[in-house]
Amino acid sequence: METSHRIILLAHGSSDRRWCETFEALAAPTVEAIPGSVVAYMELSDPSMEKIVADAVAEGCKTFTVLPLFLAAGRHLRKDVPAMIADMEAEHGIRIQLEAPVGENAQLGLAIRTVVEQTLARTGVPTTATGSA
């Protein structure tokens, strides 16, 4: 399927295949629902962000959104990824919008709360205060 815009869900990458499987599962609801969305890796894993972009450019795509699948911004998102994006924009004559890391969106905090509630329900730990100091 061809779309005029690509949404790249950018994960870090790892030599450990299990790492990538987790990110593929994290991305699956998006990839299934939103045409033009795809997982790519910053380093160590395939497909690389550069490969995804180059292939899309060859198909005529000119604009991209990169959503980092990182909970918070460290050196990679403050320096390395912006530099990679600037290089690709210059090389291909395209526009790439780098979004804030997904963990900065309030949706993630709400999802974490649900995970904690599920965990406590499963393990049977009471969630109400049971005494006082």
* Site of interaction with a second copy (CB under 8 A): 1-5, 7, 9, 11, 14, 16, 18-19, 22-23, 25-30, 33-37, 59, 63, 65, 67, 69-74, 97, 99, 101-120, 123, 125-133
Closer residue to a second copy, CB minimum distance, 57 or 102: 102
Single-letter amino acid code for the residue at 49: M
- Residue 48, both tokens: 């690389």
Contact between residue 67 and residue 6 where contact means Cβ atoms under 8 Å apart: no
Closer residue to a second copy, CB minimum distance, 50 or 76: 76
Question: What is the smallest separation between the CB atom of 50 and a second copy, expressed in angstroms?
Answer: 21
Question: What is the smallest separation between the CB atom of 59 and a second copy, expressed in angstroms?
Answer: 6
CA atoms in the 13 A half-sphere facing the CB of 121: 6
Closer residue to a second copy, CB minimum distance, 48 or 65: 65
Question: What is the smallest separation between the CB atom of 111 and a second copy, expressed in angstroms?
Answer: 4
Contact between residue 68 and residue 75 where contact means Cβ atoms under 8 Å apart: no
What Å distances lie between residue 125 and 16, 60, 118, 131, CA to CA?
33, 54, 11, 14
Distance CA 112, CA 71 (A): 11
Question: What is the smallest separation between the CB atom of 54 and a second copy, expressed in angstroms?
Answer: 16
Closer residue to a second copy, CB minimum distance, 45 or 84: 45
